[in-house]
Structure 1
Amino acid sequence: MEKESIRVKKVLILAGALCAYWIGSGFATGQEVLQFLATSGAAKGLIGAIIYTILLGFFAYTLYGTGQKMQFENPYDIFVYYCGKYVGKAYVWFSVVLMYGIYVTMLAGAGATLHQYYGIASSMGTYIVALLALATAVLGVEKLIDIIGVIGPVKIVFLAIMGIAALATFAKQPNLLSANSALIATAGFKTASGNWLWSAILWAFLGLMFGITFFVISGSSCKNVKEAKLSSLIGVGGIFVAVVFVVIMEIVYLDVIRGQQVPTLAIAKHVSPILGMVFAPILTLCIYSAVSSIILVVTRNFAVDKTKKFNIVATGLTLVGMFAGTLLPFDQLVNILYPISGYIGIVLVAFMIYKEFINKNAFPYSKNNKESVENK
Structure 2
Amino acid sequence: MNHDFIYEALPTRVIFGQGKLQSLPHEVERLGARRVLVLSTPQQEPWAQNVSELLGSVSAGIYSNATMHTPVEISEQAVAQVQRLEADCVVALGGGSTTGLGKAIALRTGLPQIAVPTTYAGSEMTPILGETENGVKTTKRLPVILPKTVIYDVDLSLTLPAALSATSGLNAMAHAVEALYAQDRNPVTSIMAEEGLAAFARALPTITQSPKDLEARSDALYGAWLCGICLASAGMALHHKLCHVLGGAFDLPHAQTHAVMLPHTAAYNSKAAADAMQRIARALNAPDAAQGLWDLAGKLGAPRSLKELGMPETGIELATELALKNPYWNPRPLEADGIRKLLARAWAGEAPSL
Shorter-chain TM-score above 0.5 = no
Higher share of residues assigned strand: 2
**TM-score in terms of structure 2 length:** 0.28
Higher share of residues assigned helix: 1
**TM-score in terms of structure 1 length:** 0.27
